[in-house]
A and B are shown apart, each in its own frame.
Chain A
């Protein structure tokens, strides 16, 4: 009996995506239901690497055959899903499928920045976007697309953020390597916020940013403004 077909059967009946570990547990537990079966016993201790390569083979086969459903790995878990071309019929079958509202442009952009440059602080995100991100961050946190990843090793120890497994699921990606143009976007070094969009210290008016720096970092390289004029 081919391992490939056993996996096909398992994943066909599964009610949720299965990780390699979960699949291994299935193989480990199968003997209970088939005492004395040599094949089952033989596969009891199957390794994750073998499962992984067999799954890739199985996925390739379905793709080559042009099936309407394919095996995909999303957030490191495997599942059969239908191809998007068949959506009209499936939507009719399933009824109005409850799907979260689409993300707004600012949300997607902030999410993109986090996805490529994680982990990073809120200030670093804002330096790239050029505008405050509080509301958007709240939404992304609530939707379970980002989470706190740790703290930055600078004064004030501000929180850093990264994407979640939910993020991968939401966009149907296997892992972060599948981010479009990953190489290119990760490569640009993150500029420590250097008051990029504030006026030069020589000018009379000091912009708000330089007046109320919170406990959040003044990362190295940021110059202390020459004057913090009286503010309104």
Chain B
């Protein structure tokens, strides 16, 4: 049976994830516990790779840096290896924090730009602007970020022990396309589904993964929407308002520009 193989590219970088984790801890960037952060970061990477999400190589580089920082913390001060003389004074902890602080400022600036962008959409001059673009409704950028979703699925995954072989994913009785149908049905029965409800009755880790991939695919195809009322709160899934043809040719979407669907005979 032709199988869905979905690959999602995560455009956010390691700094985005770090800021996300810091926000979750509700601490000030300057006061963050880097050791704990390192552990959480690695955990996230593991989950994302489990889900076959394509993450940039920089994530692994950041993981290495965090491990370095973490291991440095474990050594008594006298034994800490200092870097080369030119390297001097550079405390890797401070370096990272400085980078995060700077990046956060630009993120805030980006939000302000976004507000300006939105305002301009409501402003009209005598003659309409350049008519070069195809009419397209403003893309439904998910309010819920990929990290929020990974966070939520992590919670579900923790219920299952690790002994299962995850390479069996496509030989498992559940396939992504089956789960897609399942999710579509679930979402048509109820007005809004809680994220956790999608995984009721799930019996294995691989089933969790397959369900999650199905959810991502449906979001990408704009069949389902995700909302999160409270930051880091429960995620709600709904049918998207505009009915779209379920069998849609993948086009470039903001969420995942590089995904491919090929039939895979395992």
A-side residues, CB < 8 A to B, are 14-17, 79-84, 86-87, 90, 94, 96-106, 108-109, 111-113, 115-116, 128-132, 135-136, 170-173, 179-181, 184-185, 188, 196-203, 205, 207-209, 223, 226
B142 to chain A minimum Cβ distance, whole angstroms, is 10
Which of A128, A171, A198, A203 contacts B113, CB < 8 Å? A171
Contact A109 B110 (CB under 8 A): yes
A16 engages B127 (CB within 8 Å): yes
Interchain CB contact under 8 A, B139 and A102: yes
Extra A-B contacts (15), CB below 8 Å, given A97-B129, A105-B141: A79-B126, A84-B123, A98-B135, A99-B121, A101-B138, A104-B254, A106-B12, A128-B99, A128-B103, A128-B106, A129-B15, A131-B58, A185-B105, A197-B61, A203-B68
Which residues of B124-160 have CB atoms within 8 Å of chain A's CB atoms?
124-129, 131-136, 138-139, 141
On chain A, the residues within 8 Å of B75 by CB distance are: none
User: Would A181 and B126 count as touching, CB distance under 8 A?
Assistant: no
Smallest CB separation, A161 vs chain B (Å): 15
| A188 proximity list for chain B (CB < 8 A) | 102, 105
Closest CB in chain A relative to B176 CB, distance in Å: 25
Whether B14 lies near A197 (C-beta < 8 A) is yes
CB distance from B108 to the nearest CB of A (A): 8
Task: Looking at the assembled complex, report how far the CB atom of A133 sits from the nearest CB atom of chain B, in whole angstroms.
Answer: 9
Closest-CB distance, A35 to chain B (whole angstroms): 30
The interface residues of chain B lying within 8 Å CB-to-CB of A208 are 57, 61
Asked if B114 and A131 sit within 8 Å, CB to CB, the answer is no
Residues of B within 8 A of A136 (CB): 11
Q: Can you list 24 A-B pairs with a CB-CB distance of less than 8 A?
A: A14-B126, A15-B127, A79-B125, A80-B125, A80-B126, A83-B123, A87-B122, A98-B135, A101-B139, A102-B114, A104-B141, A111-B113, A130-B62, A131-B15, A136-B11, A171-B117, A172-B123, A184-B105, A185-B106, A188-B105, A196-B95, A200-B83, A208-B61, A223-B84
B65 contacts which chain A residues (CB < 8 A)? Answer: 197-199
A106-B12, A108-B114, A170-B120 known; A116 vs B109 contact (CB < 8 Å): yes
Please give me the residue from chain A that is nearest to B255 by CB atom: A104
* With contact pairs A128-B102, A131-B14, A131-B15 given, residues A84 and B141 touching in the complex (Cβ less than 8 Å): no
B4-20: contact bitstring with A at CB < 8 Å (1 yes, 0 no)? 00000001111110000
Q: Measuring CB to CB, which residues of chain B are less than 8 angstroms from any residue of chain A?
A: 11-16, 56-58, 60-62, 64-65, 68, 81, 83-84, 86-87, 92, 95-96, 99, 102-103, 105-114, 116-129, 131-136, 138-139, 141, 254, 257
CB contacts (< 8 Å) of B56 on chain A: these are: 131-132
Report the minimal beta-carbon distance from A122 to chain B, rounded to whole angstroms.
Answer: 14
Is A132's CB under 8 angstroms from B113's CB? no
Q: How far is the CA of A99 from the CA of B107 in the complex (A)?
A: 24
Q: Are A112 and B102 in contact (CB under 8 A)?
A: no
Q: Is the CB of B110 within 8 A of A108?
A: yes
A232 to B14, CA, bound (A): 23
Q: Select from chain A the residue with minimum beta-carbon distance to B10.
A: A131
What residues of B have a CB within 8 angstroms of the CB of A173 in the complex?
Answer: 116
Question: What is the bound-complex CA distance between A111 and B64, given in angstroms?
Answer: 28
A196–B64 Cα distance when bound, in Å, is 12
Cross-chain contact B11 with A104 (CB below 8 angstroms): yes
Contact of B119 among A84, A201, A209 (CB under 8 A): A84
In the complex, residue of chain B having the shortest beta-carbon distance to the beta carbon of A102: B138
Partner of A223, one of B87, B114, B141: B87
CB neighbours (8 Å) of A17 from chain B are 125
Q: Please indicate the chain A residues that have their CB under 8 angstroms from the CB of B135 in the complex.
A: 96, 98
Q: How far is the CB of B220 from chain A (nearest CB, A)?
A: 14
Q: Is the CB of A109 within 8 A of B106?
A: yes
Chain A residues lying within 8 Å of B128, measured Cβ to Cβ, are: 94, 97-98
- Across-interface contacts of A197 in B (CB, < 8 A): 14, 58, 61-62, 65, 96, 99
